[in-house]
Amino acid sequence: MDRLEANRKYDCFCGSGIAADFVAGYILEKHNLCFEHSAPFKVAIISDRQVSGYYYNIFENQFILRNIKPRLIVCDAQEGGKSLKTVSEIVADLTDTGLGCNDWIIALGGGGVIDVAEFAASIYSGRSSLLLVPTTMGAMACGAIEDRACLNSGKYKDTSEVEVFPDAVFVDPQFLQSVPVKYRSNGYAPVIRLAMFGNIHLLDGINDSANLREFLNEVYAARKYVEIKNPKLLTLGDEIAAAIEGYFRFMNYSDGEALALSLYSCMPEAGRMALETVYNRLGLPTKLDGVGRNMILRSVSEGLTRKGMGPYEIVDYEKAGDGGKWVIRSMDRDSAMELFARRMDVIVPADKN
């Protein structure tokens, strides 16, 4: 078991098989450090139906061997289910289980599970400790080290957020073997965004779970570099991506596919061909189907309205000599919509404009 350099205040561990072998031991060790007489404690595991179907019995066994029977809480963690309603149901289950400050909540799943579990843990008055076990590349590379958990409402993305403070993260590459092809893109897109800020070598290991520890350390280092430079850069592509997801009510395109499309539209023409090669290798779309540009632009405009009257801070590419760089531009509404219209022209076929 290796420690990841995640640049966070909590521990991040990585290793094949650690989820089923070391999580219970870690919790027991932490618990016994706090309580001299090894007071009994409870564990609630939050997961979705698919992940729990694959892994729960194996994961649960390490607790059973230590005479601890976890409570499984199954939730809807698709983007459409990342809502206050889902969180409310989880909190009700935590309350029924009687979890308190001596007890543990474990999020076992992808980014959606982690978001709703973190949100629930942050507002639950029991103040139980929180441990994250991400099962997708997106959750491993980004979701498990985010400092905020976000929820959606109806067709609108990220309408609620809270700060989160997990106690530890356990990354196990064995989980990646069962991720459906469609949802692997959820992990590729955030890494591609980091690569666009000058860390192009990240794309070499993006689909290589055999060297996951080295890859994630590179991803975390790249993220730290961007956060120090300006964390606002990590919003590159969010506006159009949110509009695509919201228009289809989180059904047609996964959040990774929507972000990938938006990032492709942001890329300067000179670099678009190289990016298209990467997309083809990873199975990501470069064209948006099923909707005209004006409908998505309308959704983008609604998103700006929810942010107020402006000016708006938009991440854009600034040419300089033979190269260029990504910058934060302060734009009025008309200028921002002109920029988004140019981007939409890249990903929507001409006959659907």
Per residue in 136-153, pLDDT (tens digit) is: 989 999 989 999 999 999
Strands 11-14 and 2-3, how do they pair?
antiparallel
pLDDT-derived band at 37 (thresholds 50, 70, 90) equals: low
User: pLDDT above 90 covers what percent of the chain?
Assistant: 76
Averaged pLDDT, 116-123: 97
- The sheet carrying 129-134 orders its strands as 2-3, 11-14, 168-171, 129-134, 104-109, 43-47, 71-74
What residue spans of 76-142 are helical by DSSP H? 84-97, 111-123, 137-141
Between CA 170 and CA 135 the distance in angstroms is 10
Average pLDDT for the chain: 91
DSSP per-residue letters across 139-207:
HHHTGGG-SEEEEEETTEEEEEEEE---SEEEE-GGGGGGS-HHHHHHHHHHHHHHHTTT-GGGGGGTT
Picking from 13, 32, 9, the residue whose alpha carbon sits closest to that of residue 21 is: 13
Averaged pLDDT, 305-332: 91
Q: Is the CB of residue 137 less than 8 Å from the CB of residue 74? A: no
Residue 284: what are its φ and ψ, rounded to 5°?
Answer: -100, 145
Q: 327 by DSSP, 3-state: which?
A: strand
The β-bridge partners of 171 are: 14
Q: Judge whether residue 320 has pLDDT over 80.
A: no
Q: Which helix (H) or strand (E) holds 300?
A: helix 293-306
Q: Which domains are present in the chain?
A: 2-179 (3.40.50.1970), 182-352 (1.20.1090.10)
What lies within 8 Å, CB to CB, of 87 at 6+ separation is 116, 119, 120, 123, 151
What lies within 8 Å, CB to CB, of 99 at 6+ separation is 42, 44, 105, 124, 126, 128
The β-bridge partners of 328 are: 315
Averaged pLDDT, 181-206: 84
pLDDT-derived band at 38 (thresholds 50, 70, 90) equals: low
What is residue 30's predicted lDDT score, i.e. its pLDDT?
Answer: 87
Q: Judge whether residue 12 has pLDDT over 80.
A: yes
- Using CA of residue 44, residue 45, residue 47, residue 50, what is the dihedral sign? negative
What lies within 8 Å, CB to CB, of 128 at 6+ separation is 44, 94, 99, 100, 101, 103, 104, 105, 121
pLDDT-derived band at 36 (thresholds 50, 70, 90) equals: low
Q: Up-side HSE of residue 320: CA atoms within 13 Å toward CB?
A: 7
Between CA 302 and CA 322 the distance in angstroms is 36
Strands 43-47 and 71-74, how do they pair?
parallel
What is residue 204's predicted lDDT score, i.e. its pLDDT?
Answer: 81
- The token duo for 59 is 């994961």
Between CA 90 and CA 149 the distance in angstroms is 15
Q: Judge whether residue 239 has pLDDT over 70.
A: yes
Averaged pLDDT, 292-308: 94
Q: 286 by DSSP, 3-state: which?
A: coil
Q: Judge whether residue 68 has pLDDT over 70.
A: yes
* Range 252-265 burial, b when 16+ CB lie within 10 A, else e: ebbbbbbbbbbbbb
Q: Judge whether residue 99 has pLDDT over 90.
A: yes
Averaged pLDDT, 235-246: 96
pLDDT-derived band at 34 (thresholds 50, 70, 90) equals: low
Q: Is the CB of residue 75 less than 8 Å from the CB of residue 47? A: yes
Averaged pLDDT, 229-256: 94
Q: Is the CB of residue 90 less than 8 Å from the CB of residue 120? A: yes
Averaged pLDDT, 274-290: 93
Between CA 283 and CA 184 the distance in angstroms is 9
Picking from 332, 337, 315, the residue whose alpha carbon sits closest to that of residue 243 is: 337
